[in-house]
Amino acid sequence: MGEPSSSSLSSPVRSVPLTVITPMPRWKSRPGWAFLTYMRYRSKLHEVRQLRFIHFARWQRVSRRSLTNFANQPAEADGDDLFVFSTNFNGPWDQYIDTFSRVDNIRKGIRWLWGFSDKFPGPTPIRNFKSYIHHHTYAEQHYFDAYPDATVRDIAQALSVTEGLRQFVATRPETRSTDEAFARNYVEFLDTMADTDVPTGTTSQSFLTALSPIESADSSAASQQIRQYLEGRSPEPSPFADCPMVHMARIVVVDDLKPALGNRNATSLASRYLLFVVELDGSIGDFLDRLSDSHPEFVQAVWGSCHGFPVDRTGPVFFRQYIESCTAKPNLPFAAFPGVSVDQIRCALDTRHRLLKQVSQWGTAPTRAQWKHFAEHLGERGHHGY
């Protein structure tokens, strides 16, 4: 545990998860929480959005005292709180961390964000920064991405193209032009379609972070059993694929809070924890109900060995109440496309693919009849905006 996965070190396209948990000394914890809260309401994280390779990210302080304490669970002793950072990005791990260290405005933000963590060396020199992040990285046992082959830039272009196409189709050019005028309008559309501003979404988005304590009678065996179950599922479709509101999700077994390098007085966690992180559209409760309804065996296998899990009570309402009791509020969440739903992103990617394929087949400008057929076909497929 703690090593970035091989995919996170070299993946050129797929979104890569990164989960970093650092100890936050108690005397720094409340100022850290106050800073994150301030940033949430005052910063739009424009610099992060402009990078165009981060899908989602969140920074949050989890107070050790706020961790759920169920019956028969060892009480957490006073000690360092947790600073949890989770993100999804495109490209190699080194390039991602390099950006945090080398882009001026982001480097300043990182110095403040992680400055409340124990023995944070700062974003420079970069070698020390990378060692710190590497040391505090936790491996994901399960990861789901609703659009795995699309980069942030792919999605931005697809949303722009789809909006440009929607505006062009709305003018009904095939009904108001001669063939020559339509061809000119079509060529102009191709030249400008990718320059259309990405539309602002209106879908409510939620960020779930839950830390469930693993049973302590033999927590090592229980955590290993969870690991084996999740990692053994890898050839199978993720259960989150049946939850259409989920953008990305991960499950991480946290055996302990890793002390900062050189700190011999760190306080261990009293329990192992199961970290559950999800970015989704709509209500967290609706998502949890859907997951429990569609995959009760998955829910039982993953959370059944956790303290407080309602093993004698089945049904979505009990699972929802359990996860809600283990939830930590995200202090500073980031989404590359706020308000844009999973369905809208998938639809835009499909529309872009179909348009580029059709443009290639047409070669030159299509006839008005060909264009009308194409536009009607998009509408029949239920593509957003047609």
For 217-256, the pLDDT digits (tens) are 676 888 999 999 998 887 788 999 999 999 999 999 999 9
Q: Do the domain assignments include residue 1?
A: no
Could you say which DSSP state residue 216 is in? Answer: S
Q: Do the domain assignments include residue 162?
A: yes
Q: Is the pLDDT of residue 386 over 50?
A: no
- 12: domain range? 6-147+200-335
Q: In terms of pLDDT, which residue wins out, 112 or 178?
A: 112
- Number of separate domains in the chain: 2
What are the start-end ranges of the E strands in the chain?
Answer: 15-24, 54-62, 81-90, 142-145, 205-213, 246-254, 273-281, 332-335
Closest to 338 in 3D by CA, of 279, 251, 250, 277: 279
Co-location of 74 and 107 in the same domain: yes
Measured distance CA(8)–CA(12) in Å, rounded: 9
Model pLDDT, residue 286: 97
Dmax (CA) for the chain in angstroms is 80
DSSP 20-61: EEEEE-HHHHHHHHHHHHHHHHH---HHHHHHS-EEEEEEEE
Q: Do the domain assignments include residue 87?
A: yes
Q: Which residues of 100-127 are buried (b: 16+ CB within 10 A; e: fewer)?
A: bbebeebbebbeebbebbbebeebeebe
The pLDDT-based confidence of 379 (bands split at 50, 70, 90) is low
The pLDDT-based confidence of 21 (bands split at 50, 70, 90) is very high
Q: Is the pLDDT of residue 42 over 60?
A: yes
Measured distance CA(147)–CA(142) in Å, rounded: 16
CB 86 within 8 A of CB 277: yes
Co-location of 352 and 312 in the same domain: no
Model pLDDT, residue 2: 40
Question: Which one of 335, 352, 372 terminates a domain?
Answer: 335
Co-location of 102 and 133 in the same domain: yes
Beta partners for 274?
212, 253
Co-location of 187 and 161 in the same domain: yes
Co-location of 256 and 375 in the same domain: no
What are the start-end ranges of the E strands in 214-338?
Answer: 246-254, 273-281, 332-335
The pLDDT-based confidence of 181 (bands split at 50, 70, 90) is confident
Torsion 177-181-186-192 (CA) sign: negative
Q: Do the domain assignments include residue 63?
A: yes
Co-location of 183 and 84 in the same domain: no
In degrees, rounded to 5, the angle at the alpha carbon of residue 284 between the alpha carbons of residues 282 and 286 is 75
Q: In terms of pLDDT, which residue wins out, 365 or 324?
A: 324
Q: Do the domain assignments include residue 104?
A: yes
Co-location of 129 and 48 in the same domain: yes
Co-location of 63 and 136 in the same domain: yes
Co-location of 190 and 273 in the same domain: no
Closest to 258 in 3D by CA, of 356, 68, 119: 119
Q: Do the domain assignments include residue 124?
A: yes
Could you say which DSSP state residue 340 is in? Answer: -
Q: Which residues contact 179 (CB under 8 A, 6 or more apart)?
A: 367, 368
Q: Which two tokens stand for residue 296?
A: 């009760």
Co-location of 350 and 294 in the same domain: no
The single residue listed with the structure tokens 């939830």 is: 327
How large is the average pLDDT for residues 346-374?
88
Co-location of 35 and 127 in the same domain: yes
Co-location of 178 and 250 in the same domain: no
Q: Do the domain assignments include residue 386?
A: no
